[in-house]
Amino acid sequence: MKRGRRVLKKCALPLVGKHSMTRKKRTVLPFTRQYAHQQQLKKQGKTPRFGSYEYDAQRLHEKGVLVELKEVPPAKYVPRRAKVRVIAITVNLIDENYDALSVPVRHSWKRVSITISSDEVGVFEVNGKFMGVNLYTTELRLEDLLQRQFDKVQTMTLFGTAVVNVNLLLYLINKKFYV
């Protein structure tokens, strides 16, 4: 087991070793979620060696990485103005139980953020936050993800609540940390 880990570490080191120091740093647009995340890490003095990326759950769901959040229902993204137009046109067809001024669900996936950072080759720390409060932290190893992909496992559960697509999570990690 230890020998296998050493071999994997030796294989993964060329991916980030020399190139991580010489590769051009990605520019981050100001006033974005990622920019604020990087500035916060700089202030705290906790900048990871290989980078840190923060996404909201809605964005990961759109990318297909996040399949389901068990404790937080997705929000209904219907513009309020569009609802009013529909109500005005179909005023005779409205149910008495229908609330014309209903607002979207408060606990949306936009308030859940997931941060993936790496300070060590092949080891990723995944943090789950709800409204800025760090609730969950777990460690993912690249070798474990690759083993799940080899075993043809489609999804896995993080934190006991987030179901993620293994293949797309591996793609995201490779794109952000190794290219």
pTM of the model: 0.70
Q: Are strands 133-141 and 52-56 parallel, antiparallel or unpaired?
A: unpaired
Burial of 132 (0-12, 13-18, 19+ CB in 10 A): exposed
Answer whether 109's CB lies under 8 Å from 75's CB. yes
pLDDT at residue 63 in the model: 93
Burial of 7 (0-12, 13-18, 19+ CB in 10 A): exposed
Angle at 63 between CA 62 and CA 68, to 5 degrees: 65
pLDDT at residue 25 in the model: 66
pLDDT at residue 89 in the model: 39
Q: What is the spatial distance between Cα 141 and Cα 147, in angstroms, rounded to a whole number?
A: 10
Provide the CB-side half-sphere exposure for 116 (13 A, CA). 20
Answer whether 7's CB lies under 8 Å from 121's CB. no
pLDDT at residue 26 in the model: 72
pLDDT at residue 53 in the model: 95
pLDDT at residue 13 in the model: 62
The stretches in the chain having pLDDT less than 70 are: 1, 7-9, 11-25, 73-107
Tokens 């087991």 — which residue? 1
Phi first, then psi: give them for residue 62, nearest 5 degrees.
-65, -35
pLDDT at residue 8 in the model: 62
Angle at 164 between CA 27 and CA 32, to 5 degrees: 25
pLDDT at residue 24 in the model: 54
